[in-house]
Amino acid sequence: MKIIMLGAPGAGKGTQAKKIAEKYGIPHISTGDIFRANIKNGTELGKKAKTYMDQGLLVPDELTCDLVVDRIGQPDAAKGYVLDGFPRTIPQAECLTDALNRLGSSIDYAIDVDVPDEAIVTRMSGRRACLKCGATYHIVYAAPVKEGICDKCGESLVLRDDDKPETVQKRLTVYHEQTQPLIDYYTKQGVLKTVDGTKDLNDVFAEIVSILGE
């Protein structure tokens, strides 16, 4: 079972990807994890990626695709995998399709966790983080016992720059420009399935399981 997770930043696709991986016994593969693992292990691909990352540049599509293809070729991914955060653009998707075709393989499902922009802005701007111990909260869904104070270490909680409404809106604009076209791409391939990401996360997962099967 080879799955791609799609959805805007803050839609909850990462959470769902982890739950899918756990239930079906397949690896949850994120590009961030792949980059870190290859750099840590000093692989040839990792060294190449590091030269871009050290300069604050995006790793080129072709190299990212090579890293992903290398990862999904490992033994633990033989029964399938769930890709989270890749592909992000049409060139990445085309690169992945070509690579899989050469392996005699293809994506089974592209699951779009659909959440309206305004709901994402509300969701993300409600996040609070403790910079000391790394704990995270949400003023509506997972509030600390004492407002503005971390339950674990007693430090003050902050709204990260990434979660400020204006930043979230910018990230959403980039998402719609770059990643939204993937919805059409995978619809044409006949593998796109959309779930309502505004529901409770367990209900969203139940909807995904009904698509993938028990």
Q: Tens digits of per-residue pLDDT, 118-154?
A: 999 988 899 999 999 989 999 988 999 999 999 999 9
In a domain, 36, yes or no: yes
In a domain, 105, yes or no: yes
Average pLDDT of span 12-28: 95
Residue partners of 198: CB distance under 8 A and separation at least 6: 115, 116, 119
Q: Which member of 2, 19, 88, 123 is catalytic?
A: 88
pLDDT of amino acid 135 = 92
Q: Which member of 18, 48, 164, 171 is catalytic?
A: 171
Q: Is 19 marked active-site?
A: no
Residue with tokens 């899918």: 20
The pLDDT of residue 33 is above 90? no
In a domain, 138, yes or no: no
Rounded-to-integer distance, Cα 10 and Cα 123, Å:
7
Q: What CATH number should be reported for the domain holding residue 21?
A: 3.40.50.300
Rounded-to-integer distance, Cα 98 and Cα 46, Å:
22
In a domain, 167, yes or no: no
Span 158-202, pLDDT tens digits:
999 888 999 999 989 988 888 889 999 999 999 999 999 999 999
Span 55-91, pLDDT tens digits:
878 788 889 999 999 999 999 999 999 999 899 899 9
In a domain, 32, yes or no: yes
In a domain, 162, yes or no: no
Q: Which member of 71, 123, 127, 128 is catalytic?
A: 127
pTM of the full structure: 0.83
Q: Is 13 marked active-site?
A: yes
What does the angle CA 89 – CA 90 – CA 95 come to, to the nearest 5 degrees? 100
The number of distinct structural domains making up the chain is 1
Q: Is 36 marked active-site?
A: no
**Two tokens, residue 30:** 């994120």
pLDDT of amino acid 96 = 94
